[in-house]
C-alpha cells in the first residue's frame, strides 16, 4: 500500500508501524483518516509520536473508528467515564496488563481496538509488546488449524477483576491499581478460537492468557495443555513488535487480531497513561463508503 497523505514506517516484520504527518488533536481530513484506517488494518498496531491530547481530543480521535467503551473495572479520569487511567506509582510493585492479553475479550462483542496515550513515562522500561494473532495462526500446521477450527473458547474477567483478584490486599499493595469489582466479572463470553476479522477477512488465533478460561465443552484442566501450547506459540518473537513510549506517544492497536503485554521493568518509577477502548460498532467505514458511493 502506498500512502499519499501520511508516512508509514513499519516497526517489525509481522506487526507495527509508526505514522507521521497527522496531528490527532485536530479534526482530520477524510483522506488522512482513510489512510490511518488502512495502515491500522495493514499493520495492526500504529504509533503516533509527539501528540498533545486532552481526554476530549483523545475521544474525538477514537470516535472516528467507533464508540468509546465504558469499562466496568478500571479507574477512570475524572469527568471522563470512558477514559481509563492506566497508572503505576513508584511504590507499586504490580502494573496493569503484565500478561499477554487482548482487551475486553470477556464480553459478547469485543472491542475493535484500544488507544493508549502516554502522559508520564519512566526514564527506561515500561515498553509494551504486541503480537499478531494472524501471524501465529498462519504459522500453525494444517492439522492444528483443522483441530482448532471447530473449537470455541470461554472468556471471563473473573481472574483479573473478580473479587479475589481485586481484593483489599492487592489494592493495599498497589494503590494505583484501583480496580472496581463488579458482578459483570463473573459473566462468560464464548468466541471461536479461530476468529475471522470482520474488515480484512483474515483469520487469527483468538485466545489469551488473561481472559480465556477453557474450551467450550471441556474443563479448565482438559483445556490447559493445548491453551498453554497456544499461548507460548502466540508470543514467539517473530510475531511481535515492541513500543518504546515517549511522553505524547499514542498507540492504537487492533484488539481483534493482536494481543499485548505491558512490561513491568521500571520499579520505583512512575508511568501514567490514558486509554480509550474503541467499540466495534461501525458497520462500514464512512469515508470509504462515501468514496465508493
| Residues marked as catalytic | 101, 103, 260, 275
**Residues 255 and 103 sit within 8 Å (Cβ to Cβ):** yes
Task: Find the binder of ligand SIN among 15, 22, 68, 86 (CB under 6 A).
Answer: 86
86 closest CA partner among 62, 103, 100: 103
Cβ at position 116, least distance to ligand SIN in Å:
6
Using CB under 6 A as the binding rule, the residues of this chain from 126 to 165 that contact ligand SIN are 128
Return the half-sphere exposure (C-beta side, CA atoms, 13 A cut-off) of residue 107.
Answer: 16
Residue 80 is given by DSSP the state E
Cβ at position 253, least distance to ligand SIN in Å:
9
Cβ at position 243, least distance to ligand SIN in Å:
8
**Residues 215 and 190 sit within 8 Å (Cβ to Cβ):** no
- Nearest residue (beta carbon) to ligand SIN: 97
Determine the Cα–Cα distance for residues 210 and 141; give it in Å rounded to an integer.
25
Cβ at position 2, least distance to ligand SIN in Å:
31
Is 85 a binder of ligand SIN (CB under 6 A)? no
Cell of 273: 497513561
List, in order, residues 6 or more apart from 28 with CB less than 8 Å away: 22, 36, 61, 64
Edge to edge, the sheet with strand 212-215 lists 188-192, 152-156, 212-215
Give SS3 for 153.
Answer: strand
Using CB under 6 A as the binding rule, the residues of this chain from 177 to 236 that contact ligand SIN are none
**How many residues are present in the chain?**
293
The C-alpha R_g of the chain, in whole angstroms, comes to 19
Is 116 a binder of ligand SIN (CB under 6 A)? yes
Determine the Cα–Cα distance for residues 278 and 34; give it in Å rounded to an integer.
17
Residue 81 is given by DSSP the state E
Task: Find the binder of ligand SIN among 103, 208, 264, 280 (CB under 6 A).
Answer: 103
- Which among 75-83, 95-103, 191-199, 201-209 is the span making contact with ligand SIN, rule CB under 6 A? 95-103
The label of the residue with cell 473479587 reads 163
Is 176 a binder of ligand SIN (CB under 6 A)? no
* Count of residues that bind ligand SIN according to CB under 6 A: 11
Distance of CA 46 to the CA centre of its chain: 12
- Which among 3-11, 50-58, 96-104, 188-196 is the span making contact with ligand SIN, rule CB under 6 A? 96-104
Residues in contact with ligand SIN, shown as a per-residue x/- string from 245 to 264 under the rule CB under 6 A:
---------------x-x--
Using CB under 6 A as the binding rule, the residues of this chain from 268 to 287 that contact ligand SIN are 273, 275
Using CB under 6 A as the binding rule, the residues of this chain from 9 to 48 that contact ligand SIN are none
Residue 225 is given by DSSP the state H
Is 97 a binder of ligand SIN (CB under 6 A)? yes
Cβ at position 128, least distance to ligand SIN in Å:
4
Determine the Cα–Cα distance for residues 59 and 179; give it in Å rounded to an integer.
22
CB-nearer residue toward ligand SIN: 173 or 244: 244
Cβ at position 276, least distance to ligand SIN in Å:
11
Residues lying near ligand SIN in the complex (CB under 6 A) are found at 86, 96-97, 103, 114, 116, 128, 260, 262, 273, 275
Amino acid at each position: 500500500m502506498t500512502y499519499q497523505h501520511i508516512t508509514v514506517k513499519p516497526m517489525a516484520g509481522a506487526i507495527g508501524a509508526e505514522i507521521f504527518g497527522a496531528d490527532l488533536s485536530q479534526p482530520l481530513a477524510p483522506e488522512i483518516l482513510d489512510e490511518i484506517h488502512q495502515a491500522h488494518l495493514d499493520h495492526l498496531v500504529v504509533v503516533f509520536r509527539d501528540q498533545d491530547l486532552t481526554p476530549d481530543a483523545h475521544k474525538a480521535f477514537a470516535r472516528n473508528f467507533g464508540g468509546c467503551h465504558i469499562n466496568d473495572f478500571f479507574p477512570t479520569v475524572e469527568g471522563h467515564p470512558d477514559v481509563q487511567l492506566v497508572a503505576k506509582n513508584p511504590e507499586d510493585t504490580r502494573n496493569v496488563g503484565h500478561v499477554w492479553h487482548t482487551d475486553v475479550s470477556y464480553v459478547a462483542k469485543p472491542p475493535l481496538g484500544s488507544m493508549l496515550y502516554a502522559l508520564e513515562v519512566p526514564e527506561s522500561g515500561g515498553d509494551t509488546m504486541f503480537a499478531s494473532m494472524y501471524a501465529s495462526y498462519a504459522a500453525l500446521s494444517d492439522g492444528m488449524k483443522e483441530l482448532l477450527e471447530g473449537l470455541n473458547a470461554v472468556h471471563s474477567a473473573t481472574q483479573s477483576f473478580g473479587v479475589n483478584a481485586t481484593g483489599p490486599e492487592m489494592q493495599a499493595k498497589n494503590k494505583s491499581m484501583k480496580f472496581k469489582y463488579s458482578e459483570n466479572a463473573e459473566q462468560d463470553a464464548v468466541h471461536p478460537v479461530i476468529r475471522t476479522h470482520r474488515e480484512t477477512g483474515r483469520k487469527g488465533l483468538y485466545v489469551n492468557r488473561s481472559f480465556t478460561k477453557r474450551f467450550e465443552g471441556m474443563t479448565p484442566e482438559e483445556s490447559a495443555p493445548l491453551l498453554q501450547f497456544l499461548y507460548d506459540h502466540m508470543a514467539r518473537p517473530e510475531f511481535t513488535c515492541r513500543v518504546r513510549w515517549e511522553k505524547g506517544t499514542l498507540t492504537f492497536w487492533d484488539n481483534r487480531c493482536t494481543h499485548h503485554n505491558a512490561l513491568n521493568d521500571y520499579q520505583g518509577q512512575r508511568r501514567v497513561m490514558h486509554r480509550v477502548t474503541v467499540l466495534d460498532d461501525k458497520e462500514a467505514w464512512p469515508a470509504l463508503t462515501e468514496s465508493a458511493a
